[in-house]
Structure 1
Amino acid sequence: MKTLFPEIRPYRTELLSVGEGHELYIECSGTETGIPVLVLHGGPGAGASEQMRRFFDPERYHIILFDQRGAGRSIPHASTEFNTVQHTIADMERIRNHLGITRWVLFGGSFGATLALLYAEQYPQQVCGLLLRGVFLSRQQDLNWLYKEGAGRYFPDEWHHFIKEVEGKTGEDLIEAYYQRLDGKNELARISAAKAWARWEVEISTLRPSQTSADYFLATHTAIALAKISSHYFRNHSFIEENQILENAGKLNGIPGYIIHGRYDMICPPDQAFALSEQWQDGELLLVREGGHSAFDEAMIDALVGSTCRMAKRLGSPESEA
């Protein structure tokens, strides 16, 4: 079973101004002459973990991480102003041009997979490969599963805790109620709502309980950005048309890729990955039998590291052991 590559440090970090008052944290690690790969965190608003560098052989990849608007180390923190899918896709293009990259691989999980797909459909000529985990198509039915009816049937105790924060509201009412609290002036109410939102995601994301995951997502700085930006996006239906990704999936043809999805993913049920694979002829689907939503379940690490090594070989990088 493959494990994560050893920990590495970035050789370059910076804040890149992208307009409208936003500055994005960007870092580069690995080999500058290697295969460029842009790592897209989920949430939206979760921020990029340094552990994300470790899915890639640093001798074969030029690894680029960034915190999307309002997330992680980007500023202003937790801002929803000028923060949409369209802004993020434009930011990705700015980063590509800023770093002098012609074409790159996109690696994204959950909402990061959403962004990777939307960018690749808009700029297919800039993408030489896609590595997707926990596909989220951001349709109404996908939001309903997570915030109305679906996941709560498998985690009734955690669902009770989640909706109790907003007096039992569900669906669009739940998302709106959380957004209003997170956008309010009562700091204690904002922190409480942020922690409740983050706890719901943490508790249903891993196949087995993970204290490391809980510590990361329940930290106040991360939880506030995750909850506020996620609720902002979802109350606006992620700023895309219903079923937009699948309807435009034909634009992905010619781009090689791997779809890695946990069989027991309770945030993004695997029918989303299957539906994508049916429309994207160059996307190879792997349903991981012992995987959940988290990239850091052991079986998911094995599958993801394997996919990055296969992609490197496919794109012409010399093979090395993972």
Structure 2
Amino acid sequence: MYSPIKPYESGFFPGVNSEKHKLYYEVSGNKEGDPVVFLHGGPGGGTDAKDRQFFNPEKYKASNSRVIVLFDQRGAGKSIPSAELENNTTWDLVKDIEALRQKLGVAKWHVFGGSWGSTLSLAYAETHPDRVKSLVLRGIFTLRPSELRFFYQDGASHLFPEQWDEYLAPIPEAERHDMMKAYHSRLNSSDAKISLAAAKAWAKWEMATSRLIVDAAAIAHAEEDGFATAFARIENHYFINEGFMRDGQLLEKQEIDKIRHIPTIVVQGRYDVVCPATTAWALKRAWPEITLHIIPDAGHSSREPGIEKKLVEAADTMASKGL
């Protein structure tokens, strides 16, 4: 990872076709560099200062220095109002990315996203292929019902049984046949105590399963009221609505054909149980032209050493191509 840096520009821009949403954005790195936009996970996860460090910010290395653009999607991170679900869909976010590109005066940019960020990157690229120089994707997630069932109903539970029991705990046995639906009613409860308890349990399940070695700091993050509420409510909202997409839409031939020419590198943890490698392999089968790196000693998190290293290399590779 590159050294920590601070943004030289930050502020808010209005969500497209929404008087309510105000989205936080920031720009750092080299003002004369190659532009890249970072799309965070979740949905609802928000950005972090360390996300800037995947990219080369140096002023005097023009071959791969970057204009680094981060923003918090609707209801996430510093964007306001927090955890807001109204007018919050995949296609609203695609419109927001394009609005931010226009606001910053960027003709084309590299797109970098992991987990839900990979979903949104593909959706954006398939909608605006002429605005994307390259894609660097991590932990591929295409929001098919089969992927959601594996993580939230029957799959990952076989590998993390003690954490799964904690995830089950807030839900009566009679409702456990559909965990996403059961959580949906509690996350949207008028009782703040019920809603917050459900949010923390939902967030903790993902934080507990995101790394090859369970990370105590990630678990603690799931206990933070603001993060847990936004993360859980927005994720569940998207997932209960199947991403506002057709099943397998992002992998359909007519959609992949729109972006087949875009240079793309995928970094995937072999033991990722949040977004298992089978989805990255499905993308590779649909789109043989991509470069797929499977990291043998990693799970889902971008903070794992092997994934961090390969993502930095991938970002530098795309910048050095001078696309």
Name the TM tier (shorter chain): over 0.9
1 CA distance for matches of 2:293 and 2:176?
32
User: What is the DSSP-based 3-state SS (H/G/I as helix, E as strand, rest coil) of the residue aligned with 1:70?
Assistant: coil
- In the alignment, what sits opposite 2:21? 22
1:310 is aligned to 2:317: yes
Task: Spell out the pairing of 1:29-178 with structure 2 (5 A cutoff).
Answer: 29-59=28-58, 60-168=65-173, 169-170=175-176, 173-178=178-183
Deviation at 1:283, TM superposition (A): 1.4
Aligned residue pairs: how many?
Answer: 312
- In the alignment, what sits opposite 2:304? 297
1 CA distance for matches of 2:216 and 2:304?
12
Q: Could you tell me which of 264, 273, 279 is aligned with 2:271? A: 264
| TM-score, normalising length: structure 2 | 0.94
| TM-score, normalising length: structure 1 | 0.94
1 CA distance for matches of 2:293 and 2:239?
28
User: What is the DSSP-based 3-state SS (H/G/I as helix, E as strand, rest coil) of the residue aligned with 2:319?
Assistant: helix
Would you say the 8 A contact 1:252–1:280 is kept in 2? no
User: What is the DSSP-based 3-state SS (H/G/I as helix, E as strand, rest coil) of the residue aligned with 1:80?
Assistant: coil
Q: Could you tell me which of 6, 11, 26 is aligned with 1:9? A: 6
Deviation at 1:170, TM superposition (A): 4.0
Deviation at 1:217, TM superposition (A): 3.7
User: 1:150–1:261: structure 2 CA closer, same or farther, 3 Å change rule?
Assistant: same
2 CA distance for matches of 1:243 and 1:13?
36
Would you say the 8 A contact 2:136–2:314 is kept in 1? yes
- Show CA shifts across 1:228-264 (max 9, x none): 0011111101100001011021211110010000000
1 CA distance for matches of 2:215 and 2:304?
9
Would you say the 8 A contact 1:139–1:243 is kept in 2? yes
RMSD: 1.2
- Structure 2 residue runs of 5 or longer lacking an equivalent are 59-64
Q: Tell me which moved more, 187-196 or 258-267.
A: 187-196
Kindly provide the amino acid, as one letter, of the partner of residue 317 in structure 2: R
Would you say the 8 A contact 1:265–1:292 is kept in 2? yes
2 CA distance for matches of 1:20 and 1:272?
36
- In the alignment, what sits opposite 2:261? 254
Would you say the 8 A contact 1:249–1:276 is kept in 2? no
1 CA distance for matches of 2:275 and 2:156?
9
Deviation at 1:182, TM superposition (A): 1.4
2 CA distance for matches of 1:170 and 1:285?
36
2 CA distance for matches of 1:99 and 1:211?
38
User: What is the DSSP-based 3-state SS (H/G/I as helix, E as strand, rest coil) of the residue aligned with 2:310?
Assistant: helix
Would you say the 8 A contact 1:255–1:282 is kept in 2? no
